[in-house]
Structure 1
Amino acid sequence: MTGTRDFEGMNALVTGGASGIGAAVTTLLLARGARVAVLDRDITGAPAGAFAVEADVTDDAAVRAAVDRAAVELGSLHTLVSNAGIGAVGTVTDNDDAEWARVLDINVLGMVRAARHALPHLRRAAAERPGAVSITHTCSIAATAGLPRRALYSASKGAVLSLTLAMAADHVREGIRVNCVNPGTADTPWIGRLLDQADDPAAERAALAARQPLGRLVSADEVAAAVAYLAGPAAASVTGTALAVDGGMQGLRLRPAGS
């Protein structure tokens, strides 16, 4: 799809779009012809060419103001990529109630707030341009695979997967498609910070890479390509779908090397 301009005339809003997967999505949508607004609590890393709006997804009033401002700036809104989120490490005994509330507030309710305030704009766009309107959530392989020491994070992403399916059913007759992308372990700033905390960062990186059948971490650009497919016109008949970008982690069961 290199060089395609299939998002020409479309306007997108990407939450968490100033770093990691969100920045990769923003850059790709811009390259493919979209006008893009980024909503992030720190907009200093927003890709050049995007309209950046500062807001925290835990603040409903701030999200509403930011979404409305983006829609005014762009003129309309065809695509919401709800990507803002945080990680968490530990078993159920390792994170207290406050941390559970914080992660669920960002990872789940943050997507609810973004959708709630984007939907009026998306409905108008769907009436004017059928088949071009979508919401895409950044979920995770943690929603469908049991990963050690990821209880809180997995619970939050399991909720995102269920939210995606429910929203797809709610809005399909309005002409709004809702899907999610399920990355495996991606080479993002959060993973970098996680590795920095390990006793042996190189060994921990190797272990994370080895659990994916391809034997390496997923790149942010690879996840962005999947998001662009789900959000774009080529996926006009795709809704209620979770697209894994995980190096085969979800579905493959390999024998040990050499066996």
Structure 2
Amino acid sequence: MRLKDKTILVSAAGQGIGRASAIACALEGAKVIAADINETTLASLAEEHPDIQTRNLDVCDRTAIDALAAELPPLDGLFNCAGFVHHGTVLDISEEDWAFSFDLNVTSMYRMTQAFLPAMRERARTSGTASILNMSSMASSIKGFPLRTLYGATKAAVIGLTKGIAADFVAEGIRCNALCPGTVDTPSLRGPIAAAPDPAEAERNFIARQPMGRLATVDDLTPMVVYLLSDESRFVSGQALLVDGGVTI
């Protein structure tokens, strides 16, 4: 039980990587709080896994975040997983698109970390370590992709945010890392594929990115999530860790 007795909060836990991560952490013994804005997917998660606590949360709502931070015990782990993928070149980005993507993909992590970090610092003083994990991407400062300018800009900012947090609190036992997946087969990917003029071709194009010849599954990501939230990674901080099927070889 690699996360026994740890309290871990996962945002965007209703589906996709967040849901799989919440389940994986619970199976490793953690007390998991799964947060999401979608009450339907949260209800499904709670029904399937009654040991996981669920909380409805809009990570763009500072008041709601502060209220949840006041309610919960100090966290051992925080996984900031919420995000949105904008499709288009720089010429397709409206002011509204820019503001929304940065608010959800970056500013939400600032809000969540600022709300939960004070108690995590106290927790780290007794346990020796606490871990923050931020969802970034291979599409970031690591590599550019067509039609991902805004998404890549936000995920590059996440890496910068991660490194700053890590540098400021490393001496206190707080670790902060960024997870950088390749293309993952999730509901958020299946939507754009289905909406493409030729869905089969769109899927083939996404698969073609991966030298391993397939899309990542959520189960390809969760071992890294568990590792970075566990004490096994106690000497790892400030890193952008790739799980990308060889895209950036």
Range class of TM-score, shorter chain: over 0.9
Residues 136-175 of structure 1 mapped to structure 2, 5 A cutoff: 136-143=133-140, 144-175=142-173
Displacement of 1:156 in angstroms is: 0.4
DSSP-derived class of the 1:93 partner: helix
DSSP-derived class of the 1:186 partner: coil
Query: 2:84 maps to what in 1?
Result: 86
Distance 1:45 1:30 in 2: 17
Dislocated runs of 4+, deviation >3 Å? none
Correspondence 1:191 to 2:193:
no
Displacement of 1:25 in angstroms is: 0.4
One-letter amino acid of the structure 1 residue matched with residue 58 of structure 2: D
Q: Pick the aligned partner of 1:10 from 6, 9, 12.
A: 6
DSSP-derived class of the 2:185 partner: coil
Query: 2:200 maps to what in 1?
Result: 202
Tell me if structure 1 keeps the 8 A contact 2:98–2:150.
yes
Query: 1:110 maps to what in 2?
Result: 108
Query: 1:63 maps to what in 2?
Result: 65
Query: 1:119 maps to what in 2?
Result: 117
TM-score, scaled relative to structure 2: 0.95
DSSP-derived class of the 1:247 partner: coil
DSSP-derived class of the 1:53 partner: strand
Query: 1:230 maps to what in 2?
Result: 228
Distance 1:163 1:52 in 2: 27
Unaligned runs of 5+ in 2: none
Query: 2:211 maps to what in 1?
Result: 213
Structure number with the higher helix fraction is 2
Displacement of 1:55 in angstroms is: 1.5
Distance 1:66 1:148 in 2: 38
One-letter amino acid of the structure 2 residue matched with residue 18 of structure 1: G
RMSD: 1.0
DSSP-derived class of the 1:135 partner: strand
Displacement of 1:120 in angstroms is: 1.4
Identity %: 36
Displacement of 1:45 in angstroms is: 2.1
One-letter amino acid of the structure 1 residue matched with residue 150 of structure 2: L
Tell me if structure 1 keeps the 8 A contact 2:90–2:149.
yes
Distance 1:172 1:121 in 2: 15
DSSP-derived class of the 2:193 partner: helix
DSSP-derived class of the 1:199 partner: coil
Tell me if structure 1 keeps the 8 A contact 2:74–2:116.
no
Displacement of 1:76 in angstroms is: 2.9
Query: 2:19 maps to what in 1?
Result: 23
Displacement of 1:67 in angstroms is: 2.8
> Residues 221 and 68 of structure 1: is their aligned pair in 2 closer, same or farther, counting only changes over 3 Å?
farther
Distance 1:29 1:83 in 2: 14
Q: Deviations over 1:137-174 (max 9, x none)?
A: 11100011110000110000000011111111011112
One-letter amino acid of the structure 1 residue matched with residue 85 of structure 2: G
DSSP-derived class of the 2:40 partner: coil
Distance 1:19 1:126 in 2: 30
Query: 1:257 maps to what in 2?
Result: none
Q: Pick the aligned partner of 1:34 from 30, 34, 44.
A: 30
Unaligned runs of 5+ in 1: 252-259
Query: 2:41 maps to what in 1?
Result: 45
